[in-house]
Amino acid sequence: MDLIEIAAPDFDVDITLAYATPQNFTGEPVYQNAVCYLHEDAAVALTRAIETATNLGYRMRIYDAFRPSEAQWVLWNHTPDPDFLADPRRGSPHSRGVAVDLTLATPDGEIIDMGTGFDAFTPKSHHGNKDISTSAQQNRLILLGIMTQAGWDFYRNEWWHYQLFDSRRYPLVSDAEIPKHMMPSK
């Protein structure tokens, strides 16, 4: 198993997994257990990004990371929108453990304005959108710079989504394959 848990003290990052709460686009928790995992290659890249963010006076807040294949189906069945969700038949970089959804915060945890919230399925969420404030555009560029210098690729439609390059070379992982299950018991 190449997934490792992202948690303190090894990772100095705030973790608020949106899909473990009803504060997500489905309106209901998708994960029963809020455990943050990434593939070890992604964890190395995340460490680099955290270090750069800290040096610039920011904290990072993770909204989602590894997402079991079963969770991808839940999201897709709720909102089958290929502009914002990967079709689970093809697989998501999240379900491979090599994608992270995140934002920047101040050192005391206040979220930085990015022009839209996380999982806002609207063109205003696209990188380079000019229909948001200049400061929000600058904040997105700061996040983009931090993440790309740390080795992450970005998804053009979501300012919060970053994934490793060549993500399809990593295998899909189901809930049954992880140490602490995330999905509700059936």
C-alpha to C-alpha distance for 153 and 121, rounded to whole angstroms: 20
Beta strands in 57-126 (DSSP E): 59-64, 99-105
Check if 158 is active-site.
Answer: yes
Beta-carbon neighbour count of residue 138 at 10 Å? 12
DSSP at 172: P
Q: Which amino acid is at 1?
A: M
C-alpha to C-alpha distance for 138 and 95, rounded to whole angstroms: 30
Contacts of 168 (CB under 8 A, 6+ apart): 91, 96
- Catalytic choice (40, 70, 158, 177): 158
Asked if 164 and 97 touch (Cβ cutoff 8 Å), the reply is no
Asked if 95 and 182 touch (Cβ cutoff 8 Å), the reply is no
Catalytic (active-site) positions = 158
